[in-house]
Amino acid sequence: MRRPIIAGNWKMNKTISEGVDFVKEIKHLGDNTDVEVVVCVPFVSLLSVKKELEASNIKLGAQNIHFEENGAYTGEISPLMLKEIGVDYAIIGHSERREYFNETNETVNKKVKSSLAHDIKPIVCVGETLEEREDNSAKEKIKTQITKALEDVSKDDMKNIVLAYEPIWAIGTGKTASSEDANEMISYIRNLIRDKYDEEISEEVRIQYGGSVKPNNVTEIMNEPDIDGALVGGASLKKDDFTELVRF
Ligand code: 13P
């Protein structure tokens, strides 16, 4: 049985004090549940939020990571820095980073390997644009993204990776992929993992859906057999919405 994982991606929202106040109110959500709950917060808030989450079962995630441990990379944050804070997860290759910050399949792969080497679990994002979906090249795009992101990643390491399918046209738009379409793509991704590794790991790897997940569609999405969780932007910023999502 794959453990469901609901992760909030705050993106560039909430100041440090707003973030701390927010987790104070939701930190019980990881208790008495089979669901793994994660909050991925801005770099500057990680330390304060970590302290607030000390006695809670909620995991902490960063929204990016650099692949080098240190060096002349102005403005970047290394895995050593994140590890010292006690970060559990790092989102890697979010479409917003690919689109606005020139993240490529190659840098995604480097970040995945570096993150694994430092014992931080990657949440690796893939997804197609609307044009790619309409011209039937979505699967090809996803295949390339998955193959390149996981280049030289061992089966053992694969056990520590979470994949997230986030169709770009569904992010922040209020449009969700239908739960059947999302499941179809996620099952396709699972098959890619089976082809690259084996049946065992393909059954074990957790794959989330992301893109306008809200309290009113989360149950349907989570009822799909291949969807193991959600990576949530907007609705993860509100206490009541996030609570409903975690309790899908
Ligand atoms: P929304 O839930 O706001 O559509 O964002 C999805 C997302 O990009 C999560 O990483």
What would the pLDDT profile of 186-233 be if each residue is shown by its tens digit?
999 999 999 999 999 999 999 999 999 999 999 999 999 999 999 999
Q: Which two tokens stand for residue 96?
A: 């917003």
Which secondary structure element, helix H or strand E, spans residue 34, and what is its range? none
Domain ranges of the chain: 5-246
Nearest to 35 by CA among 239, 218, 233, 235: 218
Tell me the CA–centroid distance for residue 231 and ligand 1, in Å: 7
Q: What is the pLDDT of residue 12?
A: 98
Q: How far apart are CA 59 and CA 38, in angstroms?
A: 5
SS3 string of 59-128? EEEECCCCCCCCCCCCCCCCHHHHHHHCCCEEEECCHHHHHHCCCCHHHHHHHHHHHHHCCCEEEEEECC
Residue with the smallest CA separation from ligand 1 atom 7 is 233
Contact criterion met (CB below 8 Å) for 136 and 124: no
Can you tell me which atom of ligand 1 is nearest the CA of 231? Answer: 9
Q: How far apart are CA 6 and CA 213, in angstroms?
A: 10
List active site positions: 94, 166
Which of the four pLDDT bands, split at 50, 70 and 90, describes residue 1? confident
What would the pLDDT profile of 79-125 be if each residue is shown by its tens digit?
999 999 999 999 999 999 999 999 999 999 999 999 999 999 999 99
Q: What is the pLDDT of residue 175?
A: 82
Tell me the CA–centroid distance for residue 72 and ligand 1, in Å: 31
Predicted TM-score (pTM) above 0.85: yes
Tell me the CA–centroid distance for residue 96 and ligand 1, in Å: 10
Nearest to 38 by CA among 79, 9, 68: 9
Superfamily of structural domain 5-246 = Aldolase class I (3.20.20.70)
Which of the four pLDDT bands, split at 50, 70 and 90, describes residue 40? very high
Residue with the smallest CA separation from ligand 1 atom 1 is 233
